[in-house]
Each structure stands twice: as C-alpha cells, then as structure tokens.
Chain A
Amino acid sequence: MAGDGAGLTLAELPVGARGRITGVDGAAGLTQRLLEMGLAPGTEVEVVRFAPLGDPMEIRLWGYLLSLRKGDARGIAVERLA
C-alpha cells in the first residue's frame, strides 16, 4: 500500500501544505494505530507545524490536531493538493 512513483510522504510536506493520503505502510501495530486515528487512504491532511526541535510534526485532519513523529509520517504516502 506504500506510495510509489512520486514517493512523496507526509513527512516531506512543508508547513501549510495540504495533501491526500494514498497509502499507509509500516509496522503492523503502528499502521493500525495510524488508520484508527483517521490517517487512512483518501483522508486530506494539512501540515500545521513542526516541534521546535524539528520533530514531531503536527497535522490537521477531520477538524482535529494530531502530532506524530516524522519517522512514522514517512510511511504515509500522500499526493500534494494545491
């Protein structure tokens, strides 16, 4: 289910950018958690900010704010929305 081709991941989106999730990949437990939190294919996300030390990142999806580590966000393939 991992993003291929363009290979853009959530971790690479800059602050303020929006994207649509195309695939989630990673360890079984983590993937399940990400999906439960709504990070499922088709969901639109917006990068809100990065923590002062550059990691973790804060994103907005479905009207709520979620923080996740960039390492975990690298398993989330996205296509960038205008």
Chain B
Amino acid sequence: MRSPGNAVVPTRTERWVALIGNPNVGKSTLFNALTGGTARTGNYPGVTVERTVGTLRGTPEGTVVRLIDLPGTYSLAARSPDEMVAVDVLLGRRADTPRPAAVVVVLDATNLQRNLYLATQVLEVGLPVVLALNLSDDATKRGLTIDAAALGAALGVRAVATVALRGEGTLELTREILAALDREAPPTPLTWPPALLAAEAELASVLPALTPVERRRALLDVGGEAEARAHAAAPAARAALEAARERLRATGLGPGLEAGVRYGFLAPLVARCVTQPEVAARTHSDRIDAWLTHRLFGTLALVVIMALVFMAIFAWADPLMSLIEEDLIGNLSTWVAGLEILGDGLLKSLLVDGILAGVGGVLIFLPQIVILFGLLALLEGCGYMARAAFLMDRLLRGVGLSGRSFIPMLSSFACAIPGIMATRTIESRRDRIATILVAPLMSCSARIPVYVILIGAFVPAATVLGFLPLQGLVFTAMYFVGILVAIPVAFLLKRTLLKGDTPSFLVELPPYRIPQARVVGRAMWRNGREFVVRAGTLILATSIVVWALGRFPQHPDRGAEGRAEVARFEAAEVRAAELRAIERAAQEQARELGTSQPPAVREAVEEAFRRFEAAELEQVAAVALARDELLQASEVKADGAQQRQSYLGRMGHFVEPVFEPLGWDWKVSMAVIASFPAREVVVGTLGVIYNLGDEADAESETLRQRLKDARWESGPKVGQPVFDLASALALMVFFALCAQCASTLVVIRRETGRWSWAAFTFVYMTALAWVGAWLTALVVRAVT
C-alpha cells in the first residue's frame, strides 16, 4: 500500500563533479560530449555568470553524476564576485550547489604550461582531480608529443587525452571521473617558501572561518575578492594581511611569488612530458590572421563583417518582425476583437490592448535576439570576436571602455536588448556594466517611427547647400545625438560609479576554428528562450499596467456623445428613406403613364427611371458608408475621451508643468508616459489622443496634419499651436535619449542582477532626455 502523498523515491546517490578550465579550450564542447545535451542553463543569483548543469552519460545504474560547467578562467585569483563563483563552487561555499566530489580540469594540449597554472591551483582545493588534455589533435598537428601518463603521475592525478569535438576520449574520461569520485585528494606537488607557509599559519588564527584556500588567496591577491571576504570576516584581517605581506616582501617575496612557484614547478615538468618541434610551424590560423588583423584589409574586413551583422539584425529581422506583429499578433487581435461572445467591454480591451499588445511587445524582439546571438556564436566560435575587440580597443579606450564593448554597442543600434545581452562576453564587470548603461543611448530601430512622423510633419522638405536633404540630415543627427551623449556618460561612469583598477585588455587570440552548428543553434535557442521566459513576463506585466492606467477609471458614460450623434444620423436617414419611397412611387407612376405615349416620350421616361434607380443605389451606399465612418469616429472620440479622464490622462495633466518648458501640452506628456513600455507606442497614443484611432502609423498623413493642428487648450498659450519646429525637435531629442523601453530596463535588471542599475539607467536617461530636449527647444527658438 502506498499513501498518495508519500510516493516512493528510489534511493540513489547523486554526486557532483565540476568542470573548470581556461577560456577557448573547448570546455563547453567537452561538457556537451560528456552530458549529451542534457544541460540546463540558469543564472547564479546576484552575479552575471551562467550556471550550466548536466548529467554525466554512461554512469552505472543507480549512480547519478551532475556535471557543473564553471565559467572559463585563467586562475582562481578572483577579482570580482563573478570570478569568485568558480572558487566558491569548488569550496562548497554556495548554497545553490553542493560541493563537488571531484574536479575535471580541461587543458589546451597545445599550451600546457599556461593551462597547468590553473590546474596546480585546483590541486590545492582538496578535491580529487582528473585532467582532460583537450584539443590533442591540434597538438599532434603542431608536432607536439605529450606523455599524458607521466604528466598525470607527476601531479598525482590521471590525465586523459581528448578531442571533445569528435567525442574522442570521452569514454575514458567518464571512467576516470567515476574512479576519482571515491579517491582522496592528491597532495600538492608544489614546494612553497617556508615564509609563505608561516604567514598562512598566522592568518589561520585571525581568520578561522575561512578555508586555507581562501586565506591563501586573500594573502596573494592584492585587491582581490578573497581579500574583501577576509576584511568582512574579521576586523583584524586588514592589519594581519598587511603585516603578513610586509614580512613576505622583507624576505624578497613580492607579487611574482605565486607565478614563480607554479611556473618554477611546471617549466621542468612540461619540458619532460612534452616534446616540441624545433621550429613552430606557420599555421592556417596565422595566415588568416595576417589578413584579418592587417592594418588596411583587417579594418575593411571588420567594416564589412559588422555591416553584415548590423544589416542582419536591422533588415533581415524585419520580415520576421512584421510576421509576428501583423500576421500573428495583428490577426489574433482582429480575431479576438471580432469575437461576439466577448462583447465590447473591458475583457476584450484587456485581451487586445493589454495582453496581446504585451505579448507582441515581447515577441517582436525575438527575431533580432535570435539572429544576433546566432551571428555572435558564429563569430565567437570561429575566433573572430577576439580580433574585432583587438581592432577596436584603441577607439573605445578613449571613453574608458575596451574593445570588448564594441559588438554590444553596435548591436544596440538595432535594439538595446540583444546588445545588453551580448555584453556577457565582457570579462570585467565594471566595463560590462558601463557598456550596459550606455547601450540604450544608441539609437535603436524602435525610435525610427517617432523620428519619421515628427520629421515628416515639422521639418521642411528643403535642401541644405543645395543638395543635402534637410529631413535626412535631421534623421542622421538623431543617431549622432545618442553617440555624442554616450561618450561623456561612459567616461564619467568609469571615473565615478564604476571606478576601479586601470582597465586592461589582456585578451587571448584563439586559433581560427570552424564554428559548430550545434553551438550556434544552442546559443540562438537558449538566448531566445531565456528572453521570452525571464524578461517576457515582466514586460507583459508592464504593458498590462499601462493599459489599466489608460482604461481606468472608466468614463461614466463612455461613447454617449457618439451614440447621440449616431441616433441623430439614423433619424435623418429614416426621413431620407421616406423621401426615396415617395420619389420611387412618383417615378413608377410616370412610367405607367408613359406606356400609352409615343416611343420618343416613352424612351425619355424610361431613361429618367434608370437614372433615378442608379441615384437611389448611390445614395443608399453613401449613407451606409457615412454611417460606418460616423460609428468609427465616435468610437475614436470615445477612446480619446476615455484617455483624457483616465489615470494616464490625469498623470499627463499632472506632469504637464514638467514638460511645459519643452513646449509640450498634457497630451504630449501623456503620450510620453504611455510610451513607457516601448517608445514606438507614442505614435499610436498620439493618434488616439488626437482622435485618429490607434491605426495611426508613422506614414499617416492625417496624424501629421492633426499634430500640426494641435492647439493649447488652456494656459497662457491657449489657441497657439502645440507643435512647432522647436517643440517637435525637442520631442525627437527626448526620444533619442530617454529610457522609454520597459523591456530594456527589465533586461538591465536581469543582466546586472540589480534593480538599482535599471532604476539608475531610467533616471539618468530621462534626466538627460529632458535637458537635451530643453536645450534643443531653446537653441532652435533662438536660431529661427
């Protein structure tokens, strides 16, 4: 008998194994080969690194081994919370991950000396270790012969040669992992200077809560993460660390201590276990590099590749976006709007204007995200990403960023969301956050409708210097506004909020490789899915909130005015129908009398009757059309009336004084507030509020005309036009600089792990937008 609430769970042992290694060693490929695509990706709370866990394949019945893929790193000397994640997982210091029972260190077999540096650090964490000598085919191609057995023996561990891409060596590696689970941790093969060991022993009494590894890292990593942890753990730690470092310096042990000990051990070991050819062969990779990082051709190649990336997210995504917007969301909205069963009430409005609009607002970004991440995975996979960063580093260094920020910034011209997500390749957290914070200043595609409608309405179609179209110039200028503002913003951020060590650009340029379709596909799938699932729900919620603000409180008698108009029209129509009937009777009588008349007269009477019938048809059709138009107009008027007295409308009135200096009335203010979920919404909102219906789009002649006709309803400027060149340009500059995009803010929160950065972005961009708009209005009024 089994009680339903107490299902029998088979007892099975679940062990955890960590996978660690330098970047570009094929660690993730090996992870996939070992787990067979069972991986689940998530985020560690509070940091920006991804957490990937899978299940090891080929384990005996009853044994479950969870493999955790740690972020790629060159060292355990963590200098940020992100880098500390790997150390903490190895030490069992994270609540979300059990301490591993063993560690696999993945090494690049073509560069063992540097890769083994990390391995010797991992050997000190007190866990059994297995070495995977990956890329061993590349090593063979380069003429290297590696004695894996001797290497393993010298370190007290097992070493397995692997080619992760082809799955070679994974069976043996799995066997070694299983064997290592029950093994003891090997003793460290290194000999540390007695002075260091003595200093560590002293620290142990000051910092008993820390593990030996953390104490060593606190002592060796000046300004590192472990040092900060030590300071937090004990007030006496600061003085103790300083004193210990001072004593070490006195015995001649400085910053090179750790590297000296590790490389001092590794150099002879590598010399013994690896036989190298006399002359290193010039590889394909070197030949490709000679072109792709060439002063002239390399720069040209960068321009072409980036133009393609930009085109792809800007233009290729467009058909997919309209597919989602029109064919999917649009048709669905029309269908729902036509459902009789829903009536015309709130429920339908919630479904169409709240939920479907919100879902559309999420899905619309999906093509750009998926395409960009596919391309980024291609560029990263083939090794070009590091080259692009190399080529652009000098330019970005000027504003305190590095070459790593280039691709995220460029992507942001299409859409800030994939751009912000692309900052994951930036290793330095400060650089990454600085890039995230300025990325939304790049003029994204959602701003285009706003520019198009306002330029069309208020910028004269003149030419400058006889050939430059003024409208085009203004459009281009809007793109430069964002760039020009981003420069000082990044510069200031890096000197204030995100101040830190001198930013450096120490980037490995990995050999060119053919990207794997699987990796590219996974990147597209994972990033798309993550965006929809994690950001999507919040974006949807925001849309519904703004919908509710526009919908409540309900107009006491929504559409009464329109209904009265329709009733008057219908009464008039009844009178017209009566007149038509009288006329028809008279015509028919004349025709009757005509039959006894001569043919010429009969023919004339018949002709008059035909003309009457045609006119009658025409009139009926015209009346029907007029009726439809009237109904539609009254609906739009009702929407406008509703918006005017909604919370949103009241907010518009409330903030009008704030925007008054920019030359905007409450209607514009309200449209600005309503466009918080997404900038492009402002066009539709202006349409509704100026009684056009929400079908208004950027190309709409009528919306342009309405904007031109808009007059102040009250205040000192009553009766004057709301929009002139100055206030229209001010509105454009405002939208170029503002953070009116809930999706971006949600993604910033998710990528930085803090709401405070999202709030900061909103506040600083809105403040800049206001100042920018105010200055624009001021300057334009002074000049014109």
- Pairwise interchain contact B223-A51, C-beta atoms closer than 8 A: no
Name the A residues within 8 Å of B74 (CB-CB).
33, 36-37
- Pairwise interchain contact B259-A35, C-beta atoms closer than 8 A: yes
Name the A residues within 8 Å of B280 (CB-CB).
63
Number of inter-chain CB pairs below 8 Å: 126
Q: Does A38 contact B (CB under 8 A)?
A: yes
Closest 3 CB pairs of A and B: A35-B259, A28-B222, A53-B394
- Pairwise interchain contact B298-A67, C-beta atoms closer than 8 A: no
Residue of A nearest to B110 (CB): A63
Q: Does A8 contact B (CB under 8 A)?
A: no
Question: With A29-B224, A62-B111 as given contacts, are A34 and B293 in contact (CB-CB < 8 Å)?
Answer: no
- Pairwise interchain contact B222-A55, C-beta atoms closer than 8 A: no
CB distance from A32 to the nearest CB of B (A): 6
Q: Which of B250-258, B333-341, B619-627 lies at the interface with chain A?
A: B250-258
Docked complex Cα distance between A49 and B502 (Å):
23
Question: With A32-B77, A36-B259, A51-B390 as given contacts, are A58 and B505 in contact (CB-CB < 8 Å)?
Answer: no
Per-position contact with A for B67-81: 1 when CB-CB < 8 Å, else 0?
000000011010100
Name the A residues within 8 Å of B508 (CB-CB).
37, 64-67
Q: Does A41 contact B (CB under 8 A)?
A: yes
Name the A residues within 8 Å of B296 (CB-CB).
52
Residue of A nearest to B142 (CB): A63
Q: Does B507 contact A (CB under 8 A)?
A: yes
- Pairwise interchain contact B221-A32, C-beta atoms closer than 8 A: yes
- Pairwise interchain contact A40-B256, C-beta atoms closer than 8 A: yes
Most chain B C-beta atoms within 10 Å of own C-beta, residue among A34, A35, A36, A55: A36
Which of B110, B220, B263, B390 is within 8 Å of A67, CB to CB?
B390
- Pairwise interchain contact B114-A1, C-beta atoms closer than 8 A: no
Question: With A65-B508, A72-B506 as given contacts, are A31 and B393 in contact (CB-CB < 8 Å)?
Answer: no
Complex A-B: 11 CB contacts under 8 Å: A32-B258, A35-B258, A36-B117, A37-B506, A49-B293, A56-B403, A64-B108, A64-B114, A67-B508, A69-B505, A72-B505
- Pairwise interchain contact B393-A30, C-beta atoms closer than 8 A: no
Name the A residues within 8 Å of B507 (CB-CB).
66-68
Q: Does B113 contact A (CB under 8 A)?
A: yes
* Those of A10-42 within 8 Å (CB) of chain B: 24, 27-38, 40-42
CB distance from A35 to the nearest CB of B (A): 4
Name the A residues within 8 Å of B267 (CB-CB).
42
Name the B residues within 8 Å of A49 (CB-CB).
293
- Pairwise interchain contact A52-B114, C-beta atoms closer than 8 A: no
Q: Does A5 contact B (CB under 8 A)?
A: no
- Pairwise interchain contact B222-A67, C-beta atoms closer than 8 A: no
CB distance from B337 to the nearest CB of A (A): 56
Question: Interface residue count for A (Cβ, 8 Å)?
Answer: 35
Which of B223, B260, B293 is within 8 Å of A29, CB to CB?
B223
Docked complex Cα distance between A30 and B108 (Å):
23
- Pairwise interchain contact B397-A69, C-beta atoms closer than 8 A: yes
Docked complex Cα distance between A54 and B393 (Å):
10
- Pairwise interchain contact A29-B222, C-beta atoms closer than 8 A: yes
Q: Does B29 contact A (CB under 8 A)?
A: no
Docked complex Cα distance between A60 and B221 (Å):
26
- Pairwise interchain contact A51-B391, C-beta atoms closer than 8 A: yes
- Pairwise interchain contact B504-A52, C-beta atoms closer than 8 A: no
- Pairwise interchain contact A58-B111, C-beta atoms closer than 8 A: no
Docked complex Cα distance between A34 and B508 (Å):
12
Name the A residues within 8 Å of B77 (CB-CB).
32, 36
Q: Does B2 contact A (CB under 8 A)?
A: no
Which of B299, B501, B506 is within 8 Å of A52, CB to CB?
B299
Question: With A30-B504, A62-B114 as given contacts, are A53 and B256 in contact (CB-CB < 8 Å)?
Answer: no
- Pairwise interchain contact A52-B502, C-beta atoms closer than 8 A: no
Name the A residues within 8 Å of B142 (CB-CB).
63
CB distance from B250 to the nearest CB of A (A): 15
Q: Does B386 contact A (CB under 8 A)?
A: yes
A-B contacts besides A32-B221, A55-B397, 12 pairs, CB < 8 Å: A27-B501, A36-B117, A38-B263, A41-B260, A51-B293, A56-B390, A56-B394, A66-B509, A67-B390, A67-B507, A68-B505, A69-B505
- Pairwise interchain contact A41-B504, C-beta atoms closer than 8 A: no
Q: Does B295 contact A (CB under 8 A)?
A: yes
Name the B residues within 8 Å of A40 (CB-CB).
256, 259-260, 263
- Pairwise interchain contact A69-B393, C-beta atoms closer than 8 A: yes
CB distance from A3 to the nearest CB of B (A): 13
- Pairwise interchain contact B293-A1, C-beta atoms closer than 8 A: no
Name the B residues within 8 Å of A30 (CB-CB).
501-502, 504
- Pairwise interchain contact B394-A55, C-beta atoms closer than 8 A: yes
CB distance from A47 to the nearest CB of B (A): 13
- Pairwise interchain contact A64-B111, C-beta atoms closer than 8 A: yes
Docked complex Cα distance between A66 and B23 (Å):
13
Docked complex Cα distance between A56 and B111 (Å):
23
Question: With A29-B79, A29-B224, A66-B506 as given contacts, are A35 and B256 in contact (CB-CB < 8 Å)?
Answer: yes
Per-position contact with A for B205-225: 1 when CB-CB < 8 Å, else 0?
000000000000000111110
Q: Does B395 contact A (CB under 8 A)?
A: yes
Docked complex Cα distance between A35 and B223 (Å):
16
